[in-house]
A and B are shown apart, each in its own frame.
Chain A
Amino acid sequence: MSGDPILSVDRLSMRFGGIVAVNDLSFGAERRNITALIGPNGAGKTTVFNCITGFYKPTSGAMRLTHDDGHAIRLERLNDFRISKLARVARTFQNIRLFPGMTALENLMVAQHNALMRASGLTFLGLIGAPSWRKAEQAAIDLAQTWLDRIGLLDRADDAAGNLPYGDQRRLEIARAMCTQPALLCLDEPAAGLNARESAALSELLLSIRGDHGTSILLIEHDMSVVMEISDHVVVMDHGIKIAEGTPQQIRDDPKVIAAYLGADEEEAIAVMESGT
């Protein structure tokens, strides 16, 4: 692939003791594209995410993130919170990680922490209630409100996040990630546990995120109908290595991919093949 990659992963490896979770993996994600990372259970997809977002320090390899202005950042050299703050990479988790005891609105306010911290003059301006802080706070609430509206949770803004139904929690987590104004959004199985209607709504949301905000998306997903419908590019992993890469159409017909899924789980293989027809 050529063009303008926002993320390029080069020979990434991650070992846990004797286990090689990711082995010499190279792939790229194009700017303003939706790139899907798929593979059977235990293929190492979440581990790749954890390396990109700084939760794991990779054993070897390089990850380069290039912003719109051409500024490139080596992700493996930054640690955890700086990746979100400086490289503007946001993520969601396979098992939802909201702040359950805070309201939906508060969750989205926490996501704007760094911007608000600056606006509050590192708390001091905020403490005396400076007008500039008040304005910034109102803007943050407005942004949160916009996102709550987009995910259809405006009327539940003041409910505790932990009280929301599962599907709403998934969407709230995506909205929370978007409130950090990311350049690259990494979603770990956003459609897991959603019904068909909710999955369709999710696909629409992701397409609109890419379309309206120009945010690039890296997506781990088992739900092949979502992957095939919205991805521009698909990378297939198995046992820590890349076994195939291409457009959804190419992947669907790739015998190696079908074999990998067959080896792992027959139902998934059938799902892969059927979702295309």
Chain B
Amino acid sequence: MSASPAAQTSRAPGAAFIFKKALISALVALVLFSLMIGVRTEAGSDGQLTYWTRFGDLAAMVAAVFGGSILVELLRQWWGPVGTVRVVPASVQSTLSFAGRLVAPVLLVFTFLVPVLFYDERYILDLGILVLTYVMLGWGLNVVVGLAGLLDLGYVAFYAVGAYSYALLATNFGLSFWVCLPLAGILAAFWGVLLGFPVLRLRGDYLAIVTLAFGEIIRLVIINWQSLTGGPNGVTGIPRPTLFGIPLTPGDDGLAAMLGIEFSTTHRIVFLFYLILALALLTNWVTIRLRRLPIGRAWEALREDEVACRALGINTTTTKLTAFATGAMFGGFAGAFFATRQGFISPESFTFHESALVLAIVVLGGMGSQLGVALAALAMIGGFELFRGLEQYRMLVFGMAMVLLMIWRPRGLIGHRAPTVFLKTNQAISSDLVKEGHG
């Protein structure tokens, strides 16, 4: 805590260190692969065991591990985490930081123009909607994980609650999207509080496991409560959203007919695009606002030191609950949007995979940073689509990219923290001072 900056001038490890590390990695690889690769066994024609050795392959594998280990270590040094190595001159850095401040507005303007620029490209518009959905989910989870420091592996549960709330309210009671949207958020927040109560005593790994289980429980309940949710068949015929009552359909009462223009299905896509953009921006605006309010500061203080919070008279239980509920509410909004966009939902859309993806976006973006989360969602969802041509190597490329990124920026794309209030200068706080939370 009181470690002086001088203590951080640990010299970059020398050649001997790298060599030793590579040697150990190679040794581990040798032990592991000697049986897995070195000896090949097979059942012969009449059932007897035949085996032969493949020491050439084994040697190649061990050599690859040795070389790879050296490479990774060198990469770590040259390109290492921000803040330890400063190869970039100060002037370039200040230009970069100036450019960095322009990223958010430029990105925002570009996003607004996407439906105009790519009006004829349905694929891009759909991808844009998908990315924005994950941006919104990332921003929602960011409240829980990034600000309050509570590791939530079951975020998809709230997404599901939101989606099913809208789907069931709309199909059973004929409520409109605009009535259901707040209801979906409130119901998801309610479930967030319900989940929060039992798990708040838990910290770190335990919290992560219980939230993971909660995500699965919700999915299993949806699958098994056939009479209400339709079970594995899901809910079909979910109404499409309307522009405040005006449907986006080809009929006489549709928007196109009213405006006297020709009907096109793209209208609805564009409408959905701006709808999710508005929802995401609302999430962003509320989060930024909350950070500057006592509740938001308490979330961050909780992440920094829970004991100190209690000594200052902060009710840590309600503070954690509000973080859970707020994050869940945004997840619920996103879920309602998902349901209206798809027109059909089933439990398959709400697997652990989704929770993991959203969490990866938050971690990759830099916990707590709004811009970082948006960039990470763009990189993860967009990048994933970009590599579609690589087929089965897609995951591999993706994994590599993630590993490299974590070496380069272990605290995410934007690791530093912006203060919520300042007297004279608004200076970012270096990521190595900011705590990650402990549960």
Interface residues of A (CB under 8 A from B): 53-55, 80-85, 90-91, 93, 95-103, 105-106, 109-114, 116-117, 120, 123, 126-127, 141, 145, 154, 157-160, 162-163, 166, 169, 176-177, 180, 193
- Report 30 cross-chain contacts, Cβ distance below 8 Å, ordered by A residue: A53-B311, A82-B313, A90-B312, A93-B307, A95-B1, A98-B305, A98-B308, A99-B300, A100-B1, A100-B305, A100-B433, A101-B300, A101-B429, A102-B300, A102-B304, A103-B422, A103-B429, A106-B297, A106-B419, A110-B314, A113-B314, A116-B293, A123-B295, A126-B289, A157-B424, A158-B426, A159-B427, A162-B433, A176-B312, A193-B2
B286 proximal to A (CB < 8 A): yes
For residue A85, which residues in chain B have a CB less than 8 angstroms away from its CB?
313, 315
B277 proximal to A (CB < 8 A): no
Given A84-B312, A158-B425, decide whether A126 and B297 contact each other with a Cβ distance below 8 A: no
| A157–B424 CA distance with the chains assembled, in angstroms | 8
B195 proximal to A (CB < 8 A): no
> Within the complex, which residue of A100, A111, A120 is in contact with B312, where a contact is CB–CB below 8 Å?
A111
| A141–B312 CA distance with the chains assembled, in angstroms | 17
Say how far A13's CB is from chain B's closest CB, in angstroms.
Answer: 23
Are the CB atoms of A97 and B313 closer together than 8 Å?
Answer: no
B294 proximal to A (CB < 8 A): yes
| A13–B315 CA distance with the chains assembled, in angstroms | 27
Are the CB atoms of A90 and B433 closer together than 8 Å?
Answer: no
| A98–B427 CA distance with the chains assembled, in angstroms | 19
Are the CB atoms of B286 and A158 closer together than 8 Å?
Answer: no
> Within the complex, which residue of B2, B5, B304, B425 is in contact with A99, where a contact is CB–CB below 8 Å?
B304
> Within the complex, which residue of A81, A102, A103 is in contact with B310, where a contact is CB–CB below 8 Å?
A81
Q: Interface size (B, Cβ < 8 Å)?
A: 41
B403 proximal to A (CB < 8 A): no
**Residue on A nearest B298 in the bound complex, by CB:** A113
**Residue on A nearest B434 in the bound complex, by CB:** A101
Are the CB atoms of A126 and B293 closer together than 8 Å?
Answer: yes
B417 proximal to A (CB < 8 A): yes
Interface residues of B in 381-439 (CB under 8 A from A): 417, 419-427, 429-430, 433-435
B316 proximal to A (CB < 8 A): yes
| A83–B422 CA distance with the chains assembled, in angstroms | 30
Are the CB atoms of A99 and B290 closer together than 8 Å?
Answer: no
**Residue on B nearest A133 in the bound complex, by CB:** B293
Are the CB atoms of A84 and B311 closer together than 8 Å?
Answer: yes
**Residue on B nearest A166 in the bound complex, by CB:** B2
B345 proximal to A (CB < 8 A): no
For residue B144, which residues in chain A have a CB less than 8 angstroms away from its CB?
none
Are the CB atoms of A127 and B297 closer together than 8 Å?
Answer: no
Are the CB atoms of A109 and B313 closer together than 8 Å?
Answer: no
Are the CB atoms of A126 and B294 closer together than 8 Å?
Answer: yes
Say how far B145's CB is from chain A's closest CB, in angstroms.
Answer: 15
**Residue on B nearest A163 in the bound complex, by CB:** B433
> Within the complex, which residue of B1, B5, B305, B419 is in contact with A103, where a contact is CB–CB below 8 Å?
B419
| A183–B45 CA distance with the chains assembled, in angstroms | 89
For residue B304, which residues in chain A have a CB less than 8 angstroms away from its CB?
99-102
Interface residues of B in 308-324 (CB under 8 A from A): 308-316, 322
B301 proximal to A (CB < 8 A): yes
Are the CB atoms of A93 and B301 closer together than 8 Å?
Answer: no
Residue interface mask B278-296, A partner, CB < 8 A = 1: 0000000010011001110
| A105–B289 CA distance with the chains assembled, in angstroms | 18
Say how far A57's CB is from chain B's closest CB, in angstroms.
Answer: 14
| A57–B42 CA distance with the chains assembled, in angstroms | 66
For residue B286, which residues in chain A have a CB less than 8 angstroms away from its CB?
127
Among A110, A120, A154, residue most surrounded by chain B Cβ atoms (within 10 Å): A110
Cβ-closest 7 pairs across A and B: A84-B313, A101-B434, A85-B313, A99-B304, A116-B294, A162-B433, A97-B308
Q: What 9 new A-B contacts, CB under 8 Å, besides A110-B297, A120-B294? A: A84-B312, A101-B300, A103-B429, A110-B314, A111-B312, A157-B422, A158-B426, A160-B429, A163-B430
> Within the complex, which residue of B5, B310, B433, B435 is in contact with A80, where a contact is CB–CB below 8 Å?
B310
For residue A54, which residues in chain B have a CB less than 8 angstroms away from its CB?
310
Given A101-B434, A123-B295, decide whether A180 and B312 contact each other with a Cβ distance below 8 A: yes
| A55–B309 CA distance with the chains assembled, in angstroms | 12
For residue A90, which residues in chain B have a CB less than 8 angstroms away from its CB?
311-312
For residue A162, which residues in chain B have a CB less than 8 angstroms away from its CB?
1, 433
Say how far B358's CB is from chain A's closest CB, in angstroms.
Answer: 23
Are the CB atoms of B433 and A158 closer together than 8 Å?
Answer: no
For residue A100, which residues in chain B have a CB less than 8 angstroms away from its CB?
1, 304-305, 433-435
Are the CB atoms of A160 and B297 closer together than 8 Å?
Answer: no
| A158–B427 CA distance with the chains assembled, in angstroms | 7
Given A99-B305, A100-B1, A158-B419, decide whether A110 and B433 contact each other with a Cβ distance below 8 A: no
Residue interface mask B3-18, A partner, CB < 8 A = 1: 0010000000000000
For residue A163, which residues in chain B have a CB less than 8 angstroms away from its CB?
5, 430, 433
For residue B434, which residues in chain A have a CB less than 8 angstroms away from its CB?
100-101
> Within the complex, which residue of B301, B305, B421 is in contact with A105, where a contact is CB–CB below 8 Å?
B421
Say how far B361's CB is from chain A's closest CB, in angstroms.
Answer: 22
For residue A101, which residues in chain B have a CB less than 8 angstroms away from its CB?
300, 304, 417, 429, 433-435
For residue A110, which residues in chain B have a CB less than 8 angstroms away from its CB?
297-298, 301, 309, 312, 314
